[in-house]
Structure 1
Amino acid sequence: MHAILEHVAQNGVVAILRGVNPGILVPLGQALADAGVGAIEITLNSEGALQGITALKEAIGEKLPIGAGTVMTGEDAHTAIKAGATFVLTPHLAEETLAVCCQAKIPAVIGVMTPTEAVRAYDFGCEMVKIFPAASIGANYFRELRGPLPQIATMAVGGVNKDNAVEFIKAGARAVGAGGQLVDFAAAARGDWEAVKRKANEIVVAVHAAKYD
């Protein structure tokens, strides 16, 4: 597995930033890194996403991977990688995007829902798939999927919170991705970075306990 995905799997928590004020991305990213998250995803359908990726890569890229999320096309992937994204995430089975990432030697976490989609993504070179929307499917789905497909690493995204994050990890997910349930956006807007760190750390601690205790 690519070193970045190994890092994500070992840590287990990806913070998803969608629609965040570009002016607070760097201090927010620093607070999340201090809270112990394993990676940060900035969704491309956010204002200033590409500039935010570049700024976070420069500010904290040595601490943790900075990814581009909601990558819909191969051209989006090209643009995000050029901006400094070290991994890419999609909400869907995006073969063109995966091909671009494979050529650039950048890991892609491809969104899937069914075993057929998971196997197809894996066969095209995807080492970790994003099961989305995870909360709608439930943790037991990850457990069942591991039976015939133990070689495919999974990330749970969509409706993840502190409680079900533990369930997903125990059911076999290698990582979880969360936005509002992990990031206190209201605290971030007022510059209360300690509150941001406290909330994010709750899921980090819960996931680490599920993984290693």
Structure 2
Amino acid sequence: MKKLKLVQQIVEEGVVAVLRGETPDEVVEMAEQAIEGGIKVIEVTMTVPFALQAIERLAKKYSSTTSDPSKYAIIGVGTVLDPETARAGILSGSEFVVSPTLNPGTVALCNRYRIPVMPGVMTIQEIQHALELGVDVVKLFPGNLYSPAMIKAIKGPLPQANVMPTGGVSLSNLGEWIKAGAVAVGIGSDLTADAVKSGDYSLVAKKAAQYIEAYRAAKA
């Protein structure tokens, strides 16, 4: 049941912060600021040096089962290319796994341990394959190659598909993606670019709050 609850929580939160950085400390700071700003689903990518250290620290501090809002967050691992990396992320505390591509072995491992997995897809064929493997949410990636109209195109033959665009989602188009039928969106560099450039990581919290406001407005 935990897997089903986690999928529901991720969809209800609606915005996933996709975090990349130069060090674990930098990514943890980004994550804490994003959570402070209201984004409660955090994806730490495996392109971060010593990414598992950041995941472990965040998983120890935050929990998807706590009743304390200040300590509530769902921590996951991203840019997972293979089952071995997925398992390492899970053992470090990741509660969900995100991949840039559809790797059947990674999906099988996540299903074995009842961990939500969101593989990257680009075609109807890939989405159908993902559904056959038991995937609950597919990541439309890179999202900047498509417009929100792609969701409608997917929903034509595959109305049962739950699609989360990632890459190219911004404050200006988030509402279009949600209204088109996206179950959630992944936010990458736009969330953190100003903070990294200025060194003021409180800007992540401010941008996160803007994204949450935009998401809630689109849902309303």
What TM-score do the two structures reach when normalised by structure 2? 0.90
Question: Is the 8 Å Cα contact of residues 33 and 201 (structure 2) preserved in structure 1?
Answer: no
In structure 2, the residue corresponding to 1:106 is in which secondary structure? coil
Aligned match for 2:41, one of 35, 39, 42? 39
Give the corresponding residue for 2:130.
121
Secondary structure of 2:173's aligned partner = helix
- Per the alignment, residue 178 of structure 1 pairs with 187
1:3-152 aligned within 5 A? 3-62=5-64, 63-152=72-161
Give the Cα–Cα distance (whole angstroms) in 1 for the partners of residues 104 and 165 of structure 2: 20
C-alpha distance 117-196 of structure 1, shift in aligned 2 (>3 A):
same
RMSD (CA atoms)? 1.7
| 169-178 or 57-66: bigger deviation | 57-66
Q: For the Cα contact (< 8 Å) 1:15–1:183, is it kept in 2?
A: no
> Of 204, 207, 211, which aligns to 2:215?
207
2:125 and 2:201 map into 1 onto residues whose CA distance is 44
User: 1:112 & 1:152 partners in 2: Cα distance?
Assistant: 12
CA distance in 2: counterparts of 1:188 and 1:29, whole angstroms: 17
Cα distance in 2, alignment partners of residues 6 and 100 from structure 1: 20
> SS of the residue aligned with 1:2?
helix
2-side partners of 1:181 and 1:118: how far apart?
26
Post-superposition CA distance 1:70-93 (Å, at most 9, x none): 000011111111111100000011
Give the total of aligned pairs.
211
Structure 2 unmatched ranges of 5 or more: 65-71
Local SS of the residue matching 2:208? helix
SS in structure 2 opposite 1:118? helix
1:190 equivalent in structure 2: 199
Secondary structure of the 1:8 match is helix
